[in-house]
Amino acid sequence: MAVTPSFDVILVGGGGAGLRAAIAIAESAPTLRVAVVSKVYPMRSHTVSAEGGAAGVIAPDDSHDEHCYDTISGGDWLADQDAVEAFVREAPQELLQLEHWGCPWSREPDGRIAVRPFGGMKKMRTWFAADKTGFHMLHTLFQTSLKYSGVVRYDEWFVTRLLVDDGRVHGVIAIELATGRIEVIPARAVILCTGGCGKVFPFTTNAAIKTGDGMALAYRAGAPLKDMEFVQYHPTGLPFTGILITEAARAEGGYLINKDGYRYLQDYALGAPQPKPVLRTMELGPRDRLSQAFVKELEKGRTIDTPYGPVVHLDLRHLGAALINRKLPFVRELCMKYQNIDPVKQLIPVRPVVHYMMGGVHTDIDGATPLRGLYAAGEVACVSINGANRLGSNSLPELLVFGARSGRVAAEYAAGAPEPGRHAEAQLRDEQRRLETERVQPGGRERIADLRQEMQAAMEDSAGIYRTAAALSRGVDTLRALQERARDLRVEDQSRTFNTERIAALELSFMLDIAEAIVASALQRQESRGAHQRTDFPRRDDDRFLAHSIAERQTDGSCRVGYLPVTITRWPPAERVYGERPPDRGLKHELSHYTSSRTVPS
């Protein structure tokens, strides 16, 4: 029986959140034994793909309250305001910490940190490292983590299950990809940092590895998922590849135009077009509104047809080669390499593309889940600071702030938690039997790729930018049927050595669970809020749905959705206004009735 050394805290996932958490533990509790378990080498993690920047208040004309207000209104009042306040307060310190660790932030001529505008933000507060911010943050964190020799890495280990006993998490069971070895890695606490699940959709900016593993691990272990119906479509992806063209392209002054060359956003309550970018206006509106405007343009017949579906154009030509090369070099590189166009001279074809999960594993403000010993941080988690729609450049500071918080809190918990006991062995034996049986089981009929594709099609059909009860119900049925068919999966590869087909089967199984939670949550939310737009319920309904949805897996595998209240501190729900001055903010109202748990829809 293979049981590796026991740890105090295990990070599942070695992206931005996991590495930040690992460093936080190494610094705050250097005697603790910490392990990072990741299915890829940490520097391959998807944080690497983030482009535009990371928000943190540093400008003299900016304030924490303004960043809070932008985030809360951008999230259509579904964010927990105490969490947003903590996030906004700690984000600048975290970004500064990365600066001290060597992150090559772009600078002002005098050497101070430079900030750029970003969508839905009323002030310039987005730190950036050209347009490879995530890449530089991830490599800075990874390289910095190497100096803490106490942090043990399990590179290319795939976690299949959380060990749970007596209501506590005691570690993980994982497969070493290179050898196929299945082991228990015991720990007093586990922090999930596995990122999102864009791959449940067909057209996404997300990397191949974004299969919702952590969400599924938590969900199966009995920890609920929160606000899963809120899926962010980024308005500007390249057709075919889904490669992201960062919002920074619009922040630097790019226009979105339809087939007539018209800046169509002016028709969608996003303000009037100006030659230069105006904050919280037009192209610098929030992502949900911009993606929804695309669909309306499509319905009006004003998009451009391409072999890969309808597109609009992103026009950067007026910015000039010098600015594009200095501020958006990766955009130019990606367009030239993958789209064979040069944005200095040509229009970039773009369409909305699945980008980010606002929802995730339900946590409190410290990343703790309701399951003792289990924490989550980064995109896998839902704290929630993003509410119904995340603002661009809030996710990178989020993974730092809550990675660090969860690391410190998990370390404290681990110091007092019981040593993982012998009960792990029975669960390991079960899991080994299951995985070994599946590995050598020949003759299934269903191809992994076919089921994956059908799942993705069902998700786009039912849980796309606009949703209806009929389409969502269809989605529920299709996913149930796919779950059944997935029992008869054909896995040709029976080897132990780096069996990627086996991993793809496990990932598919994770994704199907997550997809069901998304669709079930979306079906039950009978209102339109942020990224969740129901054509059959076109208005926001604060009486019934100013509430977080909580999806729990039932013993028969089905999903039950309940609700929890949203925490409102200082910003009472109001209308989202873009294109002009937002309503007066910062006023303290009598808000007690918003924090009571009155919102439980029938």
Partner 1 sequence: MSSHITLRVARYRPEEEAESTFEDYEVPCPRDWVVLDGLNHVKDQIDGTLSFRWSCRMGICGSCGMLVNGEPKLTCATFLADYAPGPIRVEPLRNFPVIRDLIVELGDFMGKLTRVKPWIIRQVEKPLSDGEYRQTPEQLDEYKQFSMCINCMLCYSACPIYGLDPHFIGPAAIALAQRYNLDNRDEGASERMRVLSEHDGIWGCTFVGECTKVCPKHVDPAAAIQRYKLQAALDWVKGVVLPRATS
What is the DSSP pairing of strand 312-315 with strand 54-55? unpaired
125 binds partner 1 (CB under 8 A): no
| Residue 434 falls in the annotated catalytic set | no
380 binds partner 1 (CB under 8 A): no
493 binds partner 1 (CB under 8 A): yes
Which range binds partner 1 by CB under 8 A, 29-37, 144-152, 270-278, 460-468? 144-152
59 binds partner 1 (CB under 8 A): no
Interface residue with partner 1 among 490, 562, 574, 585 (CB under 8 A) is 490
| Residue 161 falls in the annotated catalytic set | no
Which one, 309 or 573, has the nearer CB to partner 1?
309
21-56 burial, b for 16+ CB within 10 Å, e for fewer? bbbbbbeebeebbbbbbbbbebbbbbbbbbbbbbbb
496 binds partner 1 (CB under 8 A): yes
Q: Which of residues 431-460 bind partner 1 (CB under 8 A)?
A: 447-449
96 binds partner 1 (CB under 8 A): yes
Question: To the nearest whole angstrom, how small is the minimum distance from the Cβ of residue 19 to partner 1?
Answer: 12
Interface residue with partner 1 among 110, 260, 305, 419 (CB under 8 A) is 110
Question: To the nearest whole angstrom, how small is the minimum distance from the Cβ of residue 194 to partner 1?
Answer: 13
Cβ neighbours for 63, distance < 8 A, ≥ 6 positions apart = 57
Q: Which residues pair with 348 in a beta bridge?
A: 314
Q: What DSSP assignment string belongs to 496-556?
A: STT-HHHHHHHHHHHHHHHHHHHHHHHHH--S-BTTBEETTB-S--HHHHSEEEEEEE-TT
41 binds partner 1 (CB under 8 A): yes
500 binds partner 1 (CB under 8 A): yes
Which one, 451 or 550, has the nearer CB to partner 1?
451
155 binds partner 1 (CB under 8 A): yes
Exactly one of 234, 332, 439, 532 is catalytic; name it: 234
139 binds partner 1 (CB under 8 A): yes
Q: How far is 441 from 439, CA to CA, in rounded Å?
A: 6
Cβ neighbours for 330, distance < 8 A, ≥ 6 positions apart = 51, 130, 131, 132, 246
Question: To the nearest whole angstrom, how small is the minimum distance from the Cβ of residue 147 to partner 1?
Answer: 5
Interface residue with partner 1 among 165, 364, 501, 542 (CB under 8 A) is 501
With CB under 8 A as the rule, give the number of residues binding partner 1.
60
* CA 144, 158, 356, 359 torsion-angle sign: negative
Q: Which residues pair with 200 in a beta bridge?
A: none
Please report which helix (H) or strand (E) contains residue 4, including its range: none
Interface residue with partner 1 among 2, 178, 426, 600 (CB under 8 A) is 178
* CA 522, 527, 531, 534 torsion-angle sign: positive
497 binds partner 1 (CB under 8 A): yes
Tokens read off for 302: 């004003």
* Coil vs helix vs strand at 422: coil
* Coil vs helix vs strand at 312: strand
Interface residue with partner 1 among 63, 97, 346, 595 (CB under 8 A) is 97
Which range binds partner 1 by CB under 8 A, 281-289, 419-427, 455-463, 493-501? 493-501
For partner 1, what does the binding mask look like between residues 215 and 244, x meaning CB under 8 A? Answer: -------------------------xx-xx
Q: How does DSSP classify residue 183? A: E
Which one, 497 or 592, has the nearer CB to partner 1?
497
Q: How far is 215 from 232, CA to CA, in rounded Å?
A: 17
Question: To the nearest whole angstrom, how small is the minimum distance from the Cβ of residue 2 to partner 1?
Answer: 19
Exactly one of 125, 139, 250, 390 is catalytic; name it: 250
Q: How does DSSP classify residue 174? A: E
Tokens read off for 233: 């479509």
* Coil vs helix vs strand at 257: strand
Which of 105, 94, 109 is CA-nearest to residue 135? 105
Other CB atoms closer than 10 Å to residue 460's CB: what's the count? 16
State the number of CA atoms in the 13 A half-sphere of 246 facing the CB. 32
* Coil vs helix vs strand at 586: coil
Interface residue with partner 1 among 5, 30, 59, 147 (CB under 8 A) is 147
Interface residue with partner 1 among 318, 320, 338, 560 (CB under 8 A) is 338
Which range binds partner 1 by CB under 8 A, 83-91, 202-210, 274-282, 416-424? 202-210
Q: What DSSP assignment string belongs to 15-45?
A: SHHHHHHHHHHHHH-TTS-EEEEESS-GGGS
Which one, 125 or 226, has the nearer CB to partner 1?
125
Which of 433, 380, 435 is CA-nearest to residue 406? 380
Which one, 244 or 517, has the nearer CB to partner 1?
244
Which one, 209 or 523, has the nearer CB to partner 1?
209
Backbone angles phi, psi at 175, to 5 degrees: -105, 130
150 binds partner 1 (CB under 8 A): no
Other CB atoms closer than 10 Å to residue 449's CB: what's the count? 10
Question: To the nearest whole angstrom, how small is the minimum distance from the Cβ of residue 179 to partner 1?
Answer: 9
Question: To the nearest whole angstrom, how small is the minimum distance from the Cβ of residue 392 to partner 1?
Answer: 18
Cβ neighbours for 340, distance < 8 A, ≥ 6 positions apart = none
548 binds partner 1 (CB under 8 A): no
Q: Which of residues 517-546 bind partner 1 (CB under 8 A)?
A: none
Which range binds partner 1 by CB under 8 A, 130-138, 289-297, 464-472, 566-574? 130-138
Interface residue with partner 1 among 116, 132, 327, 405 (CB under 8 A) is 132
Q: Which of residues 60-89 bind partner 1 (CB under 8 A)?
A: none
Q: How far is 314 from 254, CA to CA, in rounded Å?
A: 7
Q: How far is 204 from 237, CA to CA, in rounded Å?
A: 8
Interface residue with partner 1 among 2, 93, 423, 535 (CB under 8 A) is 93
Question: What angle, 0 to 180 degrees and rounded to 10, lies between the N-to-C axes of helices 64-74 and 81-100?
Answer: 120
Which one, 236 or 281, has the nearer CB to partner 1?
236
Q: Which residues are catalytic?
A: 234, 250
Binding interface with partner 1 (CB under 8 A): 40-41, 43-46, 48-49, 93, 96-97, 99-102, 104-107, 109-113, 132, 135-136, 139, 143-144, 146-147, 155, 178, 207-209, 240-241, 243-244, 330, 333-334, 337-338, 447-449, 490-493, 495-501
